[in-house]
Amino acid sequence: LGTRDGGPAPRLRFLRGVVMLLGYLVMEGCLHVSAQQQHVTDIGGHTSGSLGGLSATVDPRQLSDPLPWRGMPMVSLPTTVTFTPPSTVTFTTPAPPIMQMITTQPALAAVDVRSQLASESDEQVDRVDGEKEVEQEQKQSKNMEKQSTTLAATTTTTTTTTASPPLFLSPQRSAGGELPPKEQVSFVTTSTVHPSATSTRHASTTSSTSPLHTSTTHVHRKTSTDVAPSPPSKLRRGPRRLWRLPVSSEEPGKVFAAARRSGKFMPGKAFAYQSGPLPTNAWWQNFASAADPATLEGSIFQMPYVIMATSWAVHVMQPIMGHRHTQSYSRASGVSLGLQETRSVNGPMAEAWDELSLTLGWRGGGSWPLKVPLVRGSPYITAEYNGTSPRIASEQSLRLHEGTAFIVIDGKLQVCNDHTGLQGRVFSFDLMEPGSTWFVFAPDSPDANLTWRCQSSPFSLSATHPIHGAVRVALTNDCTTSSGSKHCEGSLNGENSSEYSKLLVQHAGIYPRSAEIDFSVDGNKGIVTWRWGVGILGGWQRRPLLLLAWPVHVPLFSAMDRGTIVSSAATPFRDVRGATMAVAADTWQMHYDLFPDVGLRSPRPIDERFRHRILQTLRGPLPALWNGALPDREFELPLMYELGVGDTYFSGQMVARLARLVSIAGELGESEEPYFADMVERLSLRVAAWLKMDSNTPFIYDKTWGGIISCGCYLGDCEGGCEPRCKNDQNASSSPEKCPAMNDAGLNFGNGVYNGHHFHYGYWIYAAAVLAKYNPKWERTWHHQILALVRDYANPSREDPSFPVVRHKDWFLGFSWADGLLTASANGANQESMSEAVNAYYAIYAYGAALEGKVDFADDLKDFGRIWMAMEAHGAETYWHVRHKSQVYTNSDFPHHMVGIFSDHAATQVSGRHDYEASGVHLLPFTPAAEEYLKKADWVQEHFKVYKETCAKEAECANSWQWSLCLEQAVLDQSLALQCLDALPLDAFSTSNAAACGNSMTSSLYWVATRPAA
């Protein structure tokens, strides 16, 4: 059938006809759906359903549980359920009394069968030949839409659930080693988030008898993972969905030497039940890297809570703000949610994860007695129990009322003592010392006769017997009785948290368990869509998901999406990422302005006034300020980098510098000149010296974690008497286990432990993009090596068995984390150079653009690069670029208008650096992508002024970073920027200048010449 990285994709036009036939069968009531992935499971009791006239009741004890591979475990029902119209499903559940704060549940919306039948089939059809064929298919599609609209408007079926523990509704997952299809017609209940075929969830490979596993009912046609559906992007109207398929099926161990680790930097207990590529830079990497997760170094910033996982529970803590840019947290002020009995339980472990969630698991008796899905942005923390007894506890005591400890249950005061069995579903309590108020939400299970025992000092609330279901906790006020405390300044007090408390109770019945992300592009607009798989507390009503948004999210919402913000309910959460807002919605969409699809060029043409000057600097006779009077066409890497000896960071910068010169020369029409061919040949040889398997510093595939690392190089000191060489084992290609990077975290800026791979490899991928355009034969020779580097930090697909998904990206915040396997610290993960992160994803775009029309994945790859670049730039704009009146930080926090390093719990300047260095690091490199990073002139104006002042105070700045100041000035004034460049010293772009070795005079003039005219 062909692969994405090889031959052409198969034509799939016949699938449209199949989909239309299926639609006809649905309307005729003849479609039979296997219930092997039955959607509705009510844990702890029987499942009953009435679907289109067919009723079925299944005992959960009869359910089989196949071994999951790359998704959440699924249940299989030993029956076939026939679906006949009507096909829209709603739920009705027992509605016990509820507190007055809960409003009446609104009617549930109907499933849009039209979108499932029409749009899904559209996206699977290959490019069609001829305008007439397109028109004919569009007419057929319109007819189907009309028929499906009629069907969706006239169908009403009800499924009634009868048992009380939680109902789990999941996005599509894969099971038993079967990858999710990329084309499906889904018949889903209105209680679930619509499933997507573009994302699966990494889950434990162990079997389980837990009845908590469910899946989505759908009908699908399988698509091979090697097939690249090629939607008619040039003919389609509206957004084009990006397919999250592997960009290559080539095993990286065939193009680079492969090795397994031993000794240092091995996966810890967190991954005890996992296989396949493992995350190295995830937002929860602290937990995976710490020797003991029950420490500050092992904590997880779930947002809004800081989570510490112990052998029996998760400890839930509220961040406490010190200044606007630092926060702390204390175990003594939080609450624990976990188990009463822990003798036979082993954990915590990473049971499953996806882009927006991590499920912690505690294992015992061949199953998972406790799971805690940590979902970014959830104001609740939820624990799922499988035949175990819940316990909520704190190191603090309850606040006394007239000498007696009380707890509020369903709105009524109850005495808390160790002798009374308490019943209810909404528990609220005040802790004395931290002055906080917490909620506990329990399943409403009258048949189970669930009771709780309350202890006041230290506080605990324990179930009297095991349950199969979920329990949730949530902070409603952090300053109930401590409004005078420092961390309570500007926070809610006990009286005005009522609206938020009501909101928590109203939406407590549904909780997120997993998530998925879809991407689509419409011209220069990118849309990132988040959906969640959910569970429902037994006996509770289904309402929209309640999540929290931060300042990085809200500006990306459309006007319609902003209507889901509950502005009347102020939350108690503010942290280093800003104040939060409550959002009630099952789906989020973030809208980004994308970098224009202009290939390797700038979005604007070269100003003709600068053309002659650029050519003189490139060709000669003008010196290019790098090696005496030599022009830039003579640029050459230092000998060690020519030979493939050394680090991948500075060598990458210089290779990309040469590639940039080639690209500019090509744009200037110089591709027929002899010197141009010489430059292309030189670039081809220099990149190949590093990509070949027997390189002096070879790349190797790390089979333990799933990534490409540099072998590392201890430079031999021969004092100029020999060629540069590595004095470590010269047979690294045949014995990669001996590579020094496998055990030396300080080598090559931590490349061997996955620090900053996107910084390093972004330069190499950009060079490959230029060669793909100007030396396509070379690119075809090294195609799989290049794709291995692409997949290392920018793999879009969880179906890739060799690499994790977009290694560095924090999808919730949009930007990346540079830290790798050494992340375990109380301050958490961090990233410094945002401009290089933007450049890394620009390189992905550039490579896709250079291959457009040559390989099937090119369109998707370039648009992935554009979206990820926009996400990174927006993160920088929110958290690194400080304005006089910024929403998060102000210039009083950062007088230089730039955050140096942003981490989990602090935004700081870089210790040991000069102020001008901190600014310069956040500006390089200047490629067309810098336009995204510097497009807000108001911030550039504020930052440039201070940068210029600090640089003028230090003579060393003129010798190292002055060039970046000139190029930032070009955003404001081309003429003054040119004068600034003319004043640079003669060695400003010398390869010995670490600050400028990745830039050139030609590239600098090109940047000035492509700025908007003043």
Neighbours of 912 (CB within 10 A): 6
> What is the mean predicted confidence (pLDDT) over 810-816?
97
Q: Per residue, what are the HEC states of 500-531?
A: HHHHHHHCCCEEEEEEEEEEEEECCEEEEEEE
What integer pLDDT is reported at residue 494 of this predicted model?
Answer: 42
Q: What is the pLDDT of residues 826-873, one digit of tens each?
A: 788 889 999 999 999 999 999 999 999 999 999 999 999 999 999 999
In the three-class reduction of DSSP (H, G, I as helix; E, B as strand; rest coil), residue 496 is classed as coil
Q: Is residue 496 very low, low, confident or very high in pLDDT (cuts 50, 70, 90)?
A: low
> Pick from 845, 832, 826, 825: which is nearest to 875 by CA?
832
Q: Which comes out higher in pLDDT, residue 895 or 302?
A: 302
User: Counting beta carbons within 10 angstroms of the beta carbon of residue 822, is it exposed (0 to 12), middle (13 to 18) or buried (19 or more)?
Assistant: middle
Q: What is the DSSP string of 938-953?
A: HHHHHHHHHHHHHHHT
Q: What is the distance, to the nearest Å, from the Cα of residue 899 to the centroid of all Cα atoms in its chain?
A: 22
pLDDT band of 258, cuts 50, 70, 90:
very high
Beta-bridged to residue 535, according to DSSP, are 168, 511
- 1001-1009 and 974-982 helices cross at what angle (nearest 10)? 170
Instruction: Choose between 326 and 207: higher pLDDT.
Output: 326
Q: What pLDDT is recorded for position 133?
A: 43
Query: In the numeric block, which tokens belong to residue 414?
Result: 């109850």
The predicted structure's pLDDT at residue 353: 97
Distance CA 445, CA 465 (A): 13
pLDDT of residue 23: 56
How confident is the model over 900-928, as pLDDT tens digits?
Answer: 899 888 888 876 678 889 899 999 999 99
pLDDT at 69 over 90: no
DSSP string, 310-363: -SSEEEEE--EESSTTBEE--GGGSEEEEES--TT-EEEEEEEE-SSEEEEEEE
Distance CA 437, CA 176 (A): 44
Query: What pLDDT, on the 0 to 100 scale, is given for residue 959?
Result: 86
- In this prediction, residue 20 carries a pLDDT of 53
Contact of 314 with 375, CB cutoff 8 Å: no
d(CA 736, CA 670): 42
pLDDT at residue 254 in the model = 95
Question: Both tokens of residue 384?
Answer: 């799922």
pLDDT for the residue 928: 96
Helix (H) or strand (E) holding 588: strand 587-593
Q: What percent of the chain has pLDDT over 90?
A: 59
Query: How high is the mean pLDDT of the chain?
Result: 79
Sheet order of strands, 907-908 included: 830-831, 901-903, 907-908
CB 35 within 8 A of CB 91: no
Reported as a single tens digit per residue, the pLDDT across 701-732 is 999 999 999 999 999 867 667 889 998 866 66
Say which DSSP state 123 is in.
Answer: H
- If DSSP codes are grouped into helix, strand and coil, which group holds residue 265? coil
pLDDT at position 137, please?
A: 45
Please give the biggest Cα pair distance in the chain.
Answer: 93
| pLDDT, tens digit (0-9, with 9 covering 90-100), for 632-674 | 999 999 999 999 999 999 999 999 999 999 999 999 999 999 9
> For 546, which DSSP code?
E
770: confidence class by pLDDT, cuts 50, 70, 90: very high
Residue 524: Cβ-neighbour burial (10 angstroms; 0-12, 13-18, 19+): middle
**How sure is the predictor about 294, in pLDDT bands with cuts at 50, 70 and 90?**
confident
**910 vs 17, which has greater pLDDT?**
910
More confident residue, 331 or 274: 274
Contacts of residue 146, Cβ cutoff 8 Å, sequence gap at least 6: none
CA of 867: how far to CAs of 103, 814, 861, in Å?
39, 10, 10
209 class by beta-carbon count within 10 Å (0-12 exposed, 13-18 middle, 19+ buried): middle
Determine contact, residues 316/434, Cβ cutoff 8 Å: no
In this structure, what are the phi and psi dihedrals at residue 517, rounded to the nearest 5 degrees?
A: -130, 135
Yes or no: say if 543 and 885 are a contact pair by the CB < 8 Å rule.
no
In this predicted structure, the answer to whether residue 782 has a pLDDT above a threshold of 50 is: yes
Tell me if 687 sits within 8 A of 785, measured CB to CB.
Answer: no
**Residue-level pLDDT at 728:** 82
Query: How many Å apart are CA 931 and CA 909, to the nearest integer?
Result: 24
Task: Tell me: pLDDT of 216 over 60.
Answer: no
pLDDT at position 87 over 90: no
pLDDT of residue 382: 98
613 near 724, Cβ under 8 Å? no
DSSP 375-441: ETT-SEEEEEEEEE-EEEE-SSPBPEETTEEEEEETTEEEE--TT-EE--SEEEEEETTTTEEEEEE
The amino acid sitting at 1011 is R
What are the pLDDT digits (tens) for 564-616? 999 889 999 999 999 999 999 999 999 999 999 999 999 999 999 999 999 99
E strand or H helix that includes residue 34: strand 32-34
Between 9 and 555, residue with greater pLDDT: 555
pTM for the structure as a whole? 0.80
Distance CA 659, CA 1002 (A): 12
Kindly tell me if the per-residue pLDDT of 877 is higher than 50.
yes
| pLDDT confidence tier of residue 980, bands split at 50, 70 and 90 | very high
pLDDT at residue 1007, rounded to an integer? 98
> What residues have CB less than 8 Å from 447, skipping those under 6 apart?
45, 163, 164
pLDDT band at 480 (very low <50, low <70, confident <90, very high): low
CB-based contact 339:312 (threshold 8 Å): yes
Phi-psi region of 265 (alpha: psi -120 to 50; beta: other; left: phi over 0): left
Q: Which of 509, 466, 212, 468 is nearest to 351 (CA)?
A: 212
Least confident of 329-343, 679-693, 717-731: 717-731
